[in-house]
Structure 1
């Protein structure tokens, strides 16, 4: 991704984005947390993409060139933190679990006036405490660098429901399944099945944000049945599709 602009201070604010809306590529000298209380936020960097529904937030380390994209009508909450303040001790982007308490803290902090009142500082301190204990979620979709894996990636992203084996797709792009498997392990640390599942889950989050029915999402993302999709989704995200923060099936709900 080409760096477009440099905004030294990462803002702390709430803003709305229409579905499909974007914040173009940029970087900050500060860390930033991106959280969508409504809709689904996607953050892309040269290293891959991260997608987060309303039960997750995305950690963006200082200096990372990134862009945001809205899926569904988005209420986006951005929290900026000075570079020396890293409660998570993370040097790479990550998806974090958002408990009902952390959700309310982020919303309140990003909607409060930007001052240094005692009440705001106390709110910020509790928010940082909650961030420090927020577990990281394995929802990163890594971007491959080798030409063969980029071609494989393009095929799977274009049609997540493509159920062909790695051997079948390998014949299309001129590589053996053994070669592709070895490169996936070496470059991404994933098996073909794991990588394809990550691609499908990311696409599923986007479709769900656009109010596509669960059964249709399962079909369009390549699962044999809605029940299979729901179980895979629950294992990955800790709740069933459509369960928002505080609802049955959601963390803390």
Structure 2
């Protein structure tokens, strides 16, 4: 599949930035604390577990974690940190792969549901989360809000970040809700390195409808992992969906 080609060995090696960026304590600590509280003493399943950025500290916090990961290169990086016995991972597609287990929480972080580039695949991802959960179980998604308000008429691109050594440009196909993220890294030479990833963007209301189709109810939505209020100006959200019924007894 194309996702496995994008998340290759070279990309997986660049992904880990210990102590910085997505791996900074101020990013991971509230993420882990929130997920641990929503697990309510049960086990968690991470869709697209990657190199273990969230799964490893969540497991260290006492939550049993299992993962699904499509990229064998990303999984190889995870395996260098933790064996299969301590953090089990099944190789497969997060929209279809089933993992045997008793889970109170399924989670999908850092915009990864948008890596599924059709609406049908995204809906299937919700159904896959639902079939892993007992009544009362939660599906948590972290996702950015599409930045279409920043697009002037006739312009199809936005600059997401502009740093001395990094530039992010997103190009939009508003007819099909597709966006391609262009990540440029460079130094003081005239040569830049480009990594591109395609996505299908999802409005919060559409995400809620996908959840309803899979039997979930929206329990809460926050602007970040610390629980800040989600507003019309929020650039991202953490949405918590729950299956009807009491949580499984623990």
TM-score after normalising by structure 1? 0.31
Give the helix-richer structure, 1 or 2.
1
Give the strand-richer structure, 1 or 2.
2
Greater Cα radius of gyration, structure 1 or 2: 1
